[in-house]
Amino acid sequence: MAINKENYTRRDFIKNSGMIAGGVVLVSLLNPFKLVFATKKPVGIGKWYGVGIDIEKCIGCGSCARACKIENEVPNEPFFFRNWVEQYTIMNDGQIKVSSPNGGIDGFKQPVPDENIYKTFFVPKMCNHCAKSPCTQVCPVGASFESPEGLALVDQSYCIGCGYCVQACPYGCRYIDPQKGVVDKCTLCYHRLEKGLNPACMMACPTGARIYGDLNDKESALSLFVKENNCAVLKPQLNTGSKLFYNALSQEVH
Amino acid sequence: MESLYEALANLDGFIYPNEIALNWDLLIVMYPYITGLVAGAFILASLNRVFDIKALKPTYEISLLTALAFMLVATMPLITHLGQPLRFYEMLITPHLTSAMAIFGFVYLWYLMVVLLLEIWFDYRYDMVIWSQQKKGFMKFFYKALTLWISDTSPESRKTDEKFGYFITVIGIPSAFLLHGYVGFIFGSIKANPWWSTVMMPVIFLFSAMVSGIALVMFIYMAINYLRRKKTDIFCLDTIAKYLFYILILDFTLESLDQIHRIYEADESFDILKILVRGKLFFTFFIMQIGIGTLIPITTLGVLQFKKPRERTRKILYLIISIFVLVGIFFMRWNVVIGGQLFSKSFYGFTSYKVNLIGGTDVSLSLLWFIVPFFILAFLIWLLPPWKKFVEKTN
Amino acid sequence: MPLQVKRLLLAFAVFIAIMLVLKYFLTPDSWREYGAYRGKALTEISGKEAKYVEMETCAECHDTIAGLKTQGLHVSVQCEICHGPGYKHADDPDNNDLEIPRERQFCLRCHTKNMASPQDIIKQIDAVEHNEGEECITCHNPHQPWL
């Protein structure tokens, strides 16, 4: 133990540690406060998809969730959804009841008698296709990525099924497919968009409560929807850059 | 699937439909637990070498071999938990650099290859050369291969070993901090989950890792001496216990600070977390983690600092405390990993998680990955017995 | 340089070389085409078959019903919401029949009374009081409903 000790003292140890810490500081000074999100928005070229949902038009029929399950072969069990509908009921005593039986696919029942209801409404939920998506940020292998059009997609032949993105999504929009062992999520029906068709949920909506569009095009349906309505996104405090805009969103909705 | 339907039937409030399935099960609890044991055991070895605490000398090699034994399986809980385990190599081939998890493979390799293996190699090189000369047949070849066919036993070569071994240890301490602080960051950087998302997470993970690693080495040291029917060096045990006491206090302070901060700030997630901690986590948090894992050991060790009962009593106390601490830290990991998934990110309700004691793959695999390191350790101790090392007489 | 260090460096060099070779051969070919992911994944995802064919395709054959529908309140309701995805039927109509739901419960998915549904957008009926036990389609033509 006593050999050559004078070369490596405790002071040296502190010095070494200090150098490492200093190096880290130096590197961060060279590029201070750079964001470490997985994607950068391409400037001004191509499409940049977003979604708009008008809560005032949603009748809670669940057609969107049903069509999505069929179109995208989502497992039938009530634990896996690419989109679903929630029913919010705020009672006169201030209590908030939320329910989404089987994602709303089989329709809703109002458990609270009308006279006790202060306010009630449906909220359809789906992937927010965030611009600063926390889910693609944490994928360790680059199987979850944001497409050049701004859609958060999953490369299922490359996904390792670690579930980190499921944890990172603040909106609960991802699930692990029990058969495939990989993660699955809404693609905004990328395969339909490319064929000129509407996403299954938007096609199925009987009241036109859901729209999608190009945010780069200021004349697109979505851009006008956002302009003309008082829109809000879910959990804005998390700075996810959500591109799912709700009209008439109540503050009780998380 | 039946357990999911059971969870669905027992839903408490509202939860996003995709959140009913709890994706990170017992195996992910084992992962920070085992990694923490590695980092902690290594820190104990470094206390002896870098900070020159001579009383810890009898545990130096044991700590290193323990760290190595657990390190070799540290990734297994992760890999076996993957939905596609055979694709794990992608993390090393195409690491996605914005992900906290992607770098784990490299931090792991760095720690295993550059720190642990090298330190053990420099420490044992001279002995392996001597052993290779004494043995015959396959074992002779095996030891020779382990020395990388270097048979130099000159005093200069031993000086080199010592010098580089020391240097590696010095690098090793920040590396051990990095390894486990990093595991904490994997959880602490998830802004979607308020139970995880705290800057304190890496620090808390680090100190709890040190606590559990030290307790593990204390336990293994006593167990080895019992099996070999040798007398345990009580002075060494007292010293380990002293450091365990200090670090336990630090760990408890940091965790309390985190919780006090959370309680005082009481942000939007506080209401749901309050119900979580008082309800579903009551047993694992208050009784197992804080009671058995922290308060009882701190009190006992604190008393032992001032009042020293007979040697035999102390040994029994140390044995009990080391087991208590190991159990407590396991439940600390449980509370982080499972607790963080029990409540809905909508803050309106909870799902439930039951361990399938019979027939659940997560339980059997978790047990497997906890037991295998002990067999590896037995093999390593047989291969590189610390008590057969050739101690320098010059000192 | 001491012998041990030389050997170790050699061992590490071999290890790193193996890793680099593996990295070279195992990296998928369209990696980093657009970003840190497989560029081919985009075409794989977009290449999937669409199951809902949308109203224009239905109207190619069922033009009378489509015409009827444009005059009723169900004008914005896609055929496939009730009849299910039509991709197989559109390809081979003789061997793939679509579903024709007739149950009361089916209509009530949308039309059941619920305070959460906006009253001005959808006609809602109280399922208990309104002609209990009768199928809705005995009075209402689903392709051109009246009040």
Tell me the pLDDT tens digit for each residue of A33-63.
777 776 677 666 789 999 999 999 999 999 9
Residue B187: count of CB within 10 angstroms of its CB: 25
Shortest CB distance from C52 goes to which of A60, A203, A207? A203
Cβ A211 vs Cβ A202: under 8 Å: yes
Interface predicted TM-score (ipTM): 0.91
pLDDT at residue B359 in the model = 64
Contact A125, A84 (CB under 8 A): yes
8 Å CB contact between A37 and B98: yes
Strand partners, A247: A54, A231
Q: How far is C143 from chain A (nearest CA, A)?
A: 14
Q: Which two tokens stand for residue B3?
A: 């357990």
Query: Which residues in chain C are contacts of B152 at CB distance < 8 A?
Result: 3-4
Angstrom distance (rounded) from CA A238 to CA A134: 9
pLDDT in tens, A149-186: 999 999 999 999 999 999 999 999 999 999 999 999 99
β-pairing verdict for A244-247 and A210-214: unpaired
Instruction: With cut-offs at 50, 70 and 90, classify the pLDDT of residue A8.
Output: low
Residues forming beta bridges with residue A244, ordered by sequence position? A51
Question: Could you confirm whether domain B24-237+358-388 is CATH 1.20.1630?
Answer: yes
How high is the pLDDT of residue A1? 38
For residue C41, the distance in angstroms to the closest alpha carbon of chain B comes to: 15
Residues 6+ apart with CB under 8 A from B38: B67, B70, B71, B74, B111, B116, B176, B179, B180, B213
Q: How many CB atoms lie within 10 A of CB C123?
A: 12
> How do residues C61-104 score in pLDDT, each as one tens digit?
999 998 888 888 898 899 999 999 999 999 999 999 999 998 88
Q: What is the pLDDT of residue A111?
A: 85
The answer, yes or no, to whether residue B223 has pLDDT greater than 50, is: yes
* Interface with chain C: mutation pick from B86, B87, B88, B93, highest number of C CBs within 10 Å: B93
- Residue A14 placed within a domain: no
Q: Does B173 or B393 have the greater pLDDT score?
A: B173
Bin A189: left if φ > 0, else alpha if -120 < ψ < 50, else beta. left
Residues 6 or more apart whose Cβ sits within 8 Å of residue B20: A78, A79, B4, B7, B8, B11, B351
CA angle A14, B180, B266 (to 5 degrees): 105
CB A199 within 8 A of CB A212: yes
pLDDT of residue A24: 73
Return the structure tokens found at B163: 């010098």
Closest Cβ–Cβ partner in C2, C15, C27 for B94: C27
Residues 321-340 of B with CB under 8 A from A: 340
By CA distance, what is B393's nearest residue in A?
Answer: A1
Residue A10 pLDDT: 62
* Burial (Cβ within 10 Å: 0-12, 13-18, ≥19) of residue A137: buried
Residue in chain B lying closest to C24 (CA): B93
- Which residue of A lies nearest to B344 if distances are taken between CA atoms? A172
Angle, CA of A95, A96 and A102, to the nearest 5°: 140
Show Cβ contacts of residue B266 under 8 Å, excluding neighbours closer than 6 positions.
none
Domain of A94, in residue numbers: 49-133+168-247
Q: How far apart are the CA of C126 and the nearest CA of chain B, in angstroms?
A: 27
**In chain A, residues 184-213 whose CB comes closer than 8 Å to chain B:** none
Q: Max Cα separation, chain A? A: 86
> What is the reported pLDDT for A2?
40
Residues of B in contact with C12 (CB under 8 A): 113
What would the DSSP string read from start to end of B236-302?
A: HHHHHHHHHHHHHHHHHHHHHHHHHHHHHH--TTHHHHHHHHHTTTIIIIIIIIIIIIIIHHHHHHH
Report yes or no on A118 lying in a domain.
yes
Tell me the Ramachandran region of residue C63: left when phi exceeds 0, alpha when psi lies from -120 to 50, beta otherwise: alpha
**Partner-chain residue, chosen from B20, B90, B166, that has the shortest CB–CB distance to A141:** B90
Whether A5 maps to a domain, the answer reads: no
Predicted local confidence at residue C33, as pLDDT: 87
B345 neighbourhood in chain A, CB within 8 Å: 170-172, 254
Task: Work out the minimum CA distance from B163 to partner chain A, whole angstroms.
Answer: 7
3 state SS for chain A: CCCCHHHCCHHHHHHHHHHHHHHHHHHHHHCCCCCCCCCCCCCCCCCCEEEEEEHHHCCCCCHHHHHHHHHCCCCCCCCCCCEEEEEEEEECCCCEEEECHHHHCCCCCCCCCHHHEEEEEEEEEECCCCCCCHHHHHCCCCCEEECCCCCEEECCCCCCCCCHHHHHCCCCCCEECCCCCCEECCCCCHHHHCCCCCCHHHHHCCCCCEEEEECCCCCCHHHHHHHHCCEECCCHHHCCCCCEEEECCCCCCC
Under the banding of pLDDT at 50, 70 and 90, the label for residue B394 is very low
Closest chain B residue by Cα to residue C26: B93
Question: What is the domain-level CATH number for residue A240?
Answer: 3.30.70.20
The 10s digit of each residue's pLDDT in C9-29 is: 999 999 999 999 999 999 998
Task: State pLDDT tens for residues B112-136.
Answer: 988 999 999 999 999 999 999 999 8
Q: Report pLDDT digits (tens) over C33-52.
A: 888 899 999 999 999 999 99
Amino acid residing at A188: L
Q: What does the pLDDT look like over A60-100, one tens digit per residue?
A: 999 999 999 999 999 999 999 999 999 999 999 999 999 99
Q: What residues are paired with A52 via a beta bridge? A: A211, A245
Q: What is the token pair recorded at B99?
A: 């992900």
Question: Which tokens in the block code for residue B19?
Answer: 């959140």
Interstrand relation of A244-247 and A49-54 (parallel, antiparallel or unpaired): parallel
Query: Mean pLDDT throughout B370-382?
Result: 96
Domain-embedded: residue A216: yes
Question: E strands along B312-390, which residues?
Answer: 349-350
| Chain B neighbors of C31, CB-CB under 8 A | 94
Q: What is the pLDDT of residue A14?
A: 73
Tokens for C3, please give them: 């012998």
* Mutation choice for B interface testing from C1, C6, C8 by most B CBs within 10 A: C8
* More confident site: A11 or B337: B337
What percent of chain C is modeled with pLDDT above 90?
48
pLDDT of residue B392: 59
How near does any CA of chain A get to the CA of B289, in Å? 24
- Banded pLDDT at C1 (limits 50, 70, 90): confident
Residues facing residue A214 across a β-bridge: A49
- Residues of A with Cβ-Cβ distance to B341 under 8 angstroms: 167
Q: How many domains does chain A have?
A: 1
Residue with tokens 């068709």: A197
User: Which residues touch B378 (CB under 8 Å, ≥6 apart)?
Assistant: none
CA distance A132 to A128: 10
- How many of the other CB atoms lie within 10 Å of CB of B313? 11
Do C128 and C104 form a contact (C-beta atoms < 8 A)?
Answer: no
- Tell if the CB–CB gap between A145 and C118 is shorter than 8 Å: no
What is the rounded average pLDDT of the residues A1-12?
Answer: 51
Q: Report the greatest alpha carbon distance in chain C.
A: 97
Interface of B with A in 255-274 (CB under 8 A): 268
CB under 8 Å to B188, separation ≥6 — which residues? B196, B197, B198, B199, B200, B201, B202
Distance between CA atoms of C37 and A142, rounded to whole angstroms? 5
Domain segments of chain B as ranges: 24-237+358-388
- Mean pLDDT taken over chain B: 92
Across the interface, of C5, C28, C36, the residue whose CB is closest to B96 is C36
Mean pLDDT of B334-341: 95
Is residue B98 within 8 Å of A137, Cβ to Cβ? yes
Question: What confidence tens digit (pLDDT) does each residue in B28-75 have?
Answer: 999 999 999 999 999 999 988 888 888 998 999 999 999 999 999 999
Rg of the Cα trace of chain C?
A: 30
pLDDT digits (tens, 9 = 90+) for A104-148: 999 898 889 999 999 999 999 999 999 999 999 999 999 999 999
